[in-house]
Structures are given as C-alpha cells and as structure tokens.
Amino acid sequence: MGIYSYFVLPWKCLVVISLRLLFLVPAGVPARSGDSFSKDNITVRQGGSAVLRCSVDSKVSRVAWLNRTTILFAGEEKWSLDPRVILLDTVQTEYSIKIENVDLQDEGPYVCSILSDKLPKSTKVHLIVQVPAKIVNISTDITVNEGSNVTLMCLAIGRPDASIIWKHRSSSGVPTSRFITEGEYVEITAITKEQSGVYECMSTNYVSAPDVKIVRVTVNYPPVISRARNSLIGVGQRGMLQCEASAVPLADFEWYKEDRKLLNGPNGVKIENKGKQSMLSFFNVSEEDYGNYTCVAMNTMGITNASIILYGPGMHDMIDINSAVSHLPSYLLLMTLVTAYFLKF
C-alpha cells in the first residue's frame, strides 16, 4: 500500500466533513452574522409521530437534517439506520422528515441545514416527548382493626410530572367519591369503620386520560345491634323476633330466654342467621313463650346484646315495666359467653 492511500478518506467521510465545514450549524452553536437561524418546539406524546418541517426555496443547493451531530438525511439520501425516520414526499418548498413511534431517546434538538447562494441557513427544532401518567406502585388491599393508623401509597411516573389525587368511596356503597387529599401518601390516624371502603388513586398529567387504581381498606369493629324490636303475637300464631347487627367480621348470633340458651329443636322455635340478621321463629306461640329474649352478637372484636320482648294482646303493662328495666343475661353468663367465644380463636 502506498503512502498516498493513508490520506484517502472514504467518500461519505468527505461528505460529512464538507457538510459540517460548508453549511451545517451544530446544535447549541449560534448562527454567524448574516445567517438565518430560527427555533421551534414540537411536543409529541410517546408512541406518536413527529413531523419536523423545514422550508426551502429554488436557490437551495444543499440541504440536510441532523440530530445533534448525527446526519439523518443529506438531500434525499438517508444516512440514519433507524427505520422510524423517513423523508416526507412534500412540495418543493418543504424539506421535512417524520419520526414514527416516538420514544424518550428521540427527545432533543434537530437541525435543518440549508446552503443557498453559498450562504448557510439553519432551522432548529427541539422535540419534546411527553409520557402519559402511569401508576407504577400502589398499596395492596389491607384489613385493620378500628383505631389503627393506616398509610396508603400511590407512586406514578410521567412527563411532565404526574399529580395524584385520592378519593374515598365508603363501604356503604355510596356512588359518589369524596376528595381526600393530594400527594403520594394518605395518612389515616385512628381509623374508624366509616373510613373503610375503596380508596381511589388518580394520576394525571393531562397528556392522556388519567390512570386510576384502587385500594380496598377493611376495618374490623365489634358488633353494633341496629335492630331489635319487641313483637306482639297472639297465642297459636306464627311469629318471629329479629335482631340485626353491623360488624366486621360478621357477627355470630345466639338467643337466650332469660338465662337459658335456645337451640333449634322440637321446642317449637327455629334460629336462622343470614348475614347481619338473626331470626328467632315461633311455629305455634303459647303462653309459655311470652317473656324476655336476649339476642347476643359477637365477633373477634367484641360482644354485645339486646333485650327483645315477645308479648300477647293485653300485655302492654308488662312491656312498659320490662322496657324500663333492662333485662339482660346475668353478668356471670355474659362473661362465660365472652370467654367461650374467644377461646375459639
């Protein structure tokens, strides 16, 4: 190989050098005096297409598109190996390219360099890529006891930065959501049963529709009897005493007459529990059935009871007396019930 061959550069290298020397203005370098240099920003959502436009005229002798220091197109010849970058077949007064399926690495400055009448002119376009807000981490569903402290977390990404709004839908099934707070974390001190339900995290940066995820919070609490009414039933008739208790987890029920526990059997009564309700049914009421009954509701969080009177026609005076004096199971019986129940856990 001769000495001369060491100084022979490949054809494309010569083109690159000549382009840079003759008319290309690298990104970040201001145009020289007498040059035309304009800037513009183009904002595109991730995954979309960006069209970078450059105006030319009939006096143009050379034209090229660059991304930083990389040549994408020189005239109609493609230098970029990226199949997403294409030269648009537009009118003669426009030299534009299109970038398909735009991603974050495409963000940055692009320069359209033109040599016209041996004077360089450049147009700089800065491509901004926006990323829709997306929740990337959120607390799992939790179950806590009433009075506990709870922290919920929701982390999101996006460009521009995503904002986070928390809403609460109560476990009672209220259809509307109530705004709680903004930010990645929700702190609940001494949580109550009313604060159980669905917590909705909504993340948005207005690039696309908000991203929404939920956390279910279950709050355990002791039974609260909400329904226990006296009942008037004639001798020989069928009748029922009802007891309803709200509780999480659901309450277990037991029925007593005076201090005697009632069971399903041939004594003419039937006990049926469904969800938060318990029903004591009488198939054929007799005089012996009249009197005070106690509904006991219990779960792992606690125990409560309520007195219900079954009476017949003309027995209103007995109801008034018994209503004035709470006729509940004896203290010893109640403590026995509590001990027996919690020994199961």
Place of tokens 């001494």: 190
Tokens of 308: 């219900």
pLDDT tens for residues 141-165? 999 999 999 999 999 999 999 999 9
Q: How confident is the model at residue 318 (pLDDT cuts 50, 70, 90)?
A: low
Query: Domain 229-342 in CATH: superfamily?
Result: Immunoglobulins (2.60.40.10)
**Sequence ranges of the domains in the chain:** 3-131, 139-221, 229-342
State residue 148's pLDDT score. Answer: 96
- The answer on pLDDT for 22 being more than 60 is no
Q: What is the mean pLDDT of residues 297-304?
A: 95
Q: pTM of this prediction?
A: 0.70
What does the chain come to in residues? Answer: 345
Class of domain 139-221: mainly beta
- Encode pLDDT of 252-294 as tens digits: 999 999 888 998 876 678 999 999 999 999 988 989 899 999 9
| Neighbour count for residue 22 (Cβ, 10 Å) | 13
Can you tell me whether residue 3 is helix, strand or coil?
helix
Let me know if the fold of 3-131 is the same as that of 139-221: yes
Per cent of the chain over pLDDT 90 is: 56
Query: What is the average pLDDT value for the chain, to the nearest integer?
Result: 81
Partners of 253 in the β-ladder: 297
For tokens 């669905």, name the residue. 198
CATH fold for domain 3-131? Immunoglobulin-like (2.60.40)
CA distance 9 to 15: 10
